Chains A and B, each alone.
Chain A
Amino acid sequence: MTEATDLAAAAGSADPRVGLRAVVALRRLLEGLEHLQVANARRKGWSWQEIADALEVTRQGVHKKHANRMPMHDPRED
C-alpha cells in the first residue's frame, strides 16, 4: 500500500458513503467473528450464561441470536 493510496483512503472517509460503507463492512466482520467465537465456546462446553457474561450481553440475547445457527452436535463424536 503506497502512501498516496493511504492518503486517498483517509481523505475519502469524509464522504458519508465511504464512511458508512466502512461501518457496514465492520459490522459484517463483527458478526462473523462473534458467530465463530460463540460456536467455539459452545464446542468447548461453555454455557450460554458464561458466553453472555464474556460478551457483556444478556443470556437471552445471545441465545436468541446464535442458538439455532449452531451446528447440531454429533453424538458419535463423544
Chain B
Amino acid sequence: MLERFTQAARDAVIGAQEAARDLRQSPIGTEHVLLAMLSATDGPIATAAALREKEVDARSFRAEILRRVGPGTAPADPLPDADAEDKAALKSIGIDLDAVRRAIEDTFGPGSLHLPRETPRRKGLFGRFYGSGHIPFSPRAKKVLELALREAIRLKHRFIAPEHLMLGMIRDDGGLAMQILAERGVDLTELGAEMARSLKSQAA
C-alpha cells in the first residue's frame, strides 16, 4: 500500500512519527497523522477552507492534543542513540556525519538523509522503508491508511495523496483527530467535498 503513497503522503507518515516522538506519545494515532498534514503549510489539508474557517492549524491542533491527552511518557526514541552510534563509528574512520548531512540537506532539504536500518527485519514496506526502532501505528491509524487506499481505488487513482488520507479519516470517523475536528465545529462533509475537489482540480 505504501508504495502508492506520493511524496507528500509519505511526508505525512514520517511527520506523524516525528509528531508522536515530539509529544512523547505512543502509538501513532490519527491525530499525529493529521498534525503532520497540518504542518505542511502549503499542503491541501493546511489550506482547506473548512479547517481554516474554524482556525484549525498545526499550532492549535497540537495544543488540542496536549490538552486532551497530555504529554506522553513514552521513553525517548531509541533512534537518536543509534544515530549517535553511527556518528561515532563514522568518526573513527574520519567521516563527519554532521558535515555529510549538512551538505545533503543544503540541496535536498532538512531531514532528507535517512540512514536506513534493516534489523530486525520487519514485514512489509513499513519496515523496509522506515526501518525498525520506530513508534508503532495504532490499529485505528493503520485502518485510516487502509481507508485512504480504498478511497484512492474508489476514485480510480493509482496514487495516494494527503487528500486520500484525510478522506480515510473522515470515513473512519472515530479517531482522536476526528473527535477534535468535530468539537471545533468543522463541517466534515464540506471538508470531504473539498478534498474530493482538490483531487479532481488539477488531475488529468
A residues touching B (Cβ–Cβ < 8 Å)? 1, 9-10, 12-13, 18-19, 21-22, 24-26, 28-29, 31-33, 35-36, 40, 68-76
User: For the side of the interface on B, what is the size category?
Assistant: 35 or more
Instruction: Write the nearest CB–CB distance from B6 to chain A, whole angstroms.
Output: 4
Cβ-defined contact, A32 with B116, below 8 A: yes
Cβ-defined contact, B3 with A72, below 8 A: yes
Once A21-B85, A71-B5, A72-B3 are accepted as A-B contacts, the answer to whether A29 and B90 lie under 8 Å apart by CB is yes
Cβ-defined contact, A74 with B8, below 8 A: yes
Instruction: Write the nearest CB–CB distance from A40 to chain B, whole angstroms.
Output: 7
Cβ-defined contact, A9 with B91, below 8 A: yes
| Residues of A contacting B: mostly | helix
B residues touching A (Cβ–Cβ < 8 Å)? 3-10, 85-87, 89-93, 95, 97, 100, 104, 108, 112-117, 125, 128-129, 158-161, 199, 201-204
Cβ-defined contact, B161 with A26, below 8 A: no
**Chain B residues whose C-beta falls within 8 Å of the C-beta of A22 in the assembled complex:** 89-90, 92-93
Instruction: Write the nearest CB–CB distance from A25 to chain B, whole angstroms.
Output: 4
What is the bound-complex CA distance between A33 and B202, given in angstroms?
Answer: 32
Instruction: Find B90's partner among A25, A36, A72 (CB 8 Å cutoff).
Output: A25
Once A29-B115, A71-B5, A72-B6 are accepted as A-B contacts, the answer to whether A10 and B203 lie under 8 Å apart by CB is no
Cβ-closest chain A residue relative to B161: A74
Cβ-defined contact, B159 with A75, below 8 A: yes
Instruction: Write the nearest CB–CB distance from B194 to chain A, whole angstroms.
Output: 15
Cβ-defined contact, B7 with A29, below 8 A: no
Closest 10 CB pairs between A and B? Answer: A76-B202, A25-B89, A25-B86, A28-B115, A72-B159, A71-B7, A74-B6, A9-B92, A22-B89, A21-B89
Once A28-B115, A29-B97, A32-B113 are accepted as A-B contacts, the answer to whether A72 and B89 lie under 8 Å apart by CB is no
Q: Given known contacts A1-B91, A12-B92, A72-B6, what 12 new A-B pairs fall within 8 Å (CB)?
A: A9-B91, A18-B89, A25-B89, A25-B90, A28-B115, A28-B116, A29-B95, A29-B97, A29-B100, A36-B112, A68-B125, A76-B202
Instruction: Write the nearest CB–CB distance from B92 to chain A, whole angstroms.
Output: 4
Cβ-defined contact, A74 with B7, below 8 A: yes
Once A40-B108, A71-B7, A72-B5 are accepted as A-B contacts, the answer to whether A10 and B92 lie under 8 Å apart by CB is yes
Cβ-defined contact, B86 with A28, below 8 A: yes
Cβ-closest chain B residue relative to A67: B3
What is the bound-complex CA distance between A26 and B113, given in angstroms?
Answer: 13
Cβ-defined contact, A36 with B104, below 8 A: yes
Cβ-closest chain A residue relative to B159: A72
What is the bound-complex CA distance between A71 and B9, given in angstroms?
Answer: 9
